[in-house]
Structure 1
Amino acid sequence: MSDKPLYLATSQLSYRYGAKQALHNLDYQIVKGQFNALLGANGAGKSTLFSLLAGLLKPQQGQIICYLNGKPSQLKRPSREYLAQLGVVFQQSTLDPDLSVGQNLLYHAALQGMAPKAAQRSIQVELERLQLFDRLNDPVRTLNGGHKRRVEIARALVHQPQFLMLDEPTVGLDLDTRQQLTAYLHERCQTQGLTVLWTTHLIEEIALEDPVLILHQGQAQHAGTCANLLAQTGANDLKQLLQRTASNSAQEPKL
C-alpha cells in the first residue's frame, strides 16, 4: 500500500476480449499529485487499463475505487463529478485540423460547461504556459507534431481537471519536445497538485521519484517508485528491468 494519498485504485480488476485476457486481477494505485507512469510492451494491457480508468470500458470483474474527496467510493460508471475532474490526451490526435487552436479549445470548454469569458481566460493561461498563445488563431493543420500535442494538453487542462491521463502522447515526437512535455507536467504535479497517469514505452520519460507500474500480459509485474524498483531488483535502469520481465516470462513453462 502507498503511504501517500491516492487518487484511484483498482482491486482485482479483470477484463477480457472474448478468449483474450487483457487484464487479470490487477491491484494498482495511482498516487495523488504525482506523475504516475504505466509501462509495458505492446499487448501488456496498458490501453485496456487506460480505457477502463477513462470510463470508455466498464469493468467486467473487480473494482475501480476513486478518492475524489479523500474517501474511497466504487466507480461503477463514471460520475459527472469524476468526468469533470478528468482530462484525457489520446495517442491519436483528436483535434479538428480545419479549426483554429482557439476554436478547438473553446469548443472543448463549452462541452465542459465553462462560461465563454472564463474559458477564454483559461485558454490564454494554458497556451501561455505551453508557449503557444501566439498560435491562437492559426489553423491546427499548420502546426507541427509537437505543437499539436501541446494544444491537446492545453485542451485537456483548460477546465482545470485534477486528473490528467495521457496515452502514449509522445509517439513520433523528437527528443527535445518529449523532454519539454514531461518536464512541464512534472512541474504541474509539483506546484499545482495535478495527478498524472502517463502511459508510455519510452523509459527516458520517467524520473526516479515517479511511481511506476510495469504490466506484463495483463498482470502487475513491478510497482513502486522508479528508484525503489531499481534498488529492489538490482537493475541498472528501467530498460534492463523491462528486458528481465520479458525474459523471465519467456522462460516460464507453458501450462
Structure 2
Amino acid sequence: MATTALSVAGVSHGFGDRPALIDVSLDVPAGSFTVLLGLNGAGKSTLFALITRLYDNVSGEIRVFGHDVRRAPSAALRQIGVVFQSRSLDADLSLLQNLTYHAALHGFGPASAKARAMELLAAVGLADKARDRVRALSGGQARRVEIARALLHDPRCLLLDEATVGLDIGARESIIALVRDLVARQGLGVLWATHLIDEIAPTDRIVVLHKGRVLFAGDHDTLLAKTGLPTIRDAFTTMTSSADANSAGGAGHEGRADG
C-alpha cells in the first residue's frame, strides 16, 4: 500500500458565517502528482493555509506523513515545502542571498546554507544566475527559485498554489516539467492547485474542489468513467454545473472524496 504524504479528513472552515471548506477529505500519496482542480474561489488557498498552519483547523484532521498538524506541528511542517500563489522573494537580493537567508531559518550554518542553495539552484537550472538579483529574472525563473527555496529543508511533500499564474505557456510547461521530475526522481508527494485543466496529465490523481466541497478524488480515467465524458474539461464542467444546480434546488451534496 502506498505511503500517504498528506491526508485531509473531514475538514471544514469558514470566515464568519461564510463557509469556505465543507467536510473536505483527500489524500496525496507519496510519489504522486495530485492536481487540486478548482475555479478561483473554490477554497484551494484556504486549504493550503490550513495545511501549513496559517489558519487553525478546528474540525477534521490533517496529517503529513502521519503527523497531525495541530498536535505535532513541527514534525508535520518539517515534511512540507510550499510555493504560494503570491510572489515572496526579496527582489533586491540575489538568488543565492534569498536562499541562504531561508536556509539559515531552517538551521543551516553559513557554509552548509551556501552549499545547499547552490545545489538547488543547479537542480532548477539557475546556478549560473546565483549572484543575479531576483528583479532581473523572468517570471518563470523566479518561480524556479521559489521551488528551490521550498526544497531547502528536504521536505517529502510539496504544495504549489497556482504556481504558473501569470506565466507564458513556455514557462508554465517548464515549471510543470520540473515538478513532475521531482516526483519521479525524489518520490515527493505533490499537491498542485490550479484552475487550468490543460495542466493535468493522464497519469495524475485529480481532486475536484468546487465551492468548498470535494466533488471527486481519484485518477484521471476514473473521473472520465464516472461522468461518461471524453475529456477532463467536459467532466469538470458537467460535475460542477450539476453541483450548482443541486445547490440551487436545495438538495444537499456529499462533500467527501470518492477515492
Q: Determine the structure 1 residue equivalent to 2:140.
A: 146
CA–CA separation in structure 2 for the residues paired with 1:228 and 1:4: 18
Of residues 199, 208, 223 in structure 1, which corresponds to 2:202?
Answer: 208
Structure 2 contact 43–212 (Cα < 8 Å) conserved:
yes
4+ long deviations beyond 6 Å: none
8 A contact 2:69–2:77 mirrored in 1? no
1:64 to 48, 62, 65: 62
In the alignment, the residues of structure 2 paired with residue 66 and residue 93 of structure 1 have an alpha-carbon distance, to the nearest angstrom, of 25
Aligned equivalent of 1:134, options 107, 111, 128: 128
Distance in 2 between the 1:173 and 1:85 partners?
A: 28
- Of 114, 120, 125, the residue aligned with 2:119 is 125
- 1:97-136 equivalent positions in 2, closer than 5 A: 97-136=91-130
- C-alpha distance in 2, partners of 1:85/1:73? 9
Correspondence for 1:22: 20
**Number of residue pairs matched?**
249
- 2:30 aligned to 29, 32, 36, which one? 32
Distance in 1 between the 2:8 and 2:125 partners? 36
Cα deviation, residue 87, structure 1: 1.1
Contact 2:67-2:76 at 8 Å conserved across structures: no
Find 1:177's aligned residue among 155, 171, 182. 171
User: Once superposed, what is the RMSD of the aligned Cα atoms?
Assistant: 1.5
- Post-superposition Cα deviations, 1:203-254, rounded to whole Å, max 9, x if no partner, equal 2212111111001121110110123212332222221122112321232243
1:51-73 CA distance string (max 9 Å, x none): 11111111121111332xxxx44
Secondary structure (helix, strand or coil) at the match of 2:60 reads: strand
The answer for the alignment partner of 1:241 in structure 2 is 235
Do the aligned partners of 1:24 and 1:218 also contact (CA within 8 Å) in 2?
yes
State the distance in 1 between where 2:186 and 2:242 align: 40
Structure 2, unpaired ranges of 5+: 251-259
Kept in 2: contact 1:39–1:201 (CA 8 A): yes
Residue 77 of structure 1 deviates from its aligned partner by 5.1
CA contact (8 A) 1:84 1:112 kept: no
Give the Cα–Cα distance (whole angstroms) in 2 for the partners of residues 154 and 161 of structure 1: 11
Query: Partners in 2 of 1:62 and 1:202 — Cα distance?
Result: 28
Taking structure 2 as the reference length, what is the TM-score of the superposition?
Answer: 0.91
Deviation at 1:133? 0.8
Q: Deviations over 1:2-32 (max 9, x none)?
A: x522112122111111111111111211111
Q: Which of residues 68, 82, 103 is equivalent to 1:88?
A: 82
Q: Identity rate of aligned residues, in percent?
A: 41
The aligned counterpart of 1:254 is: 249
| Cα distance per residue 1:122-166 (max 9 Å; x no partner) | 222211122111111111111111111111111111221111111
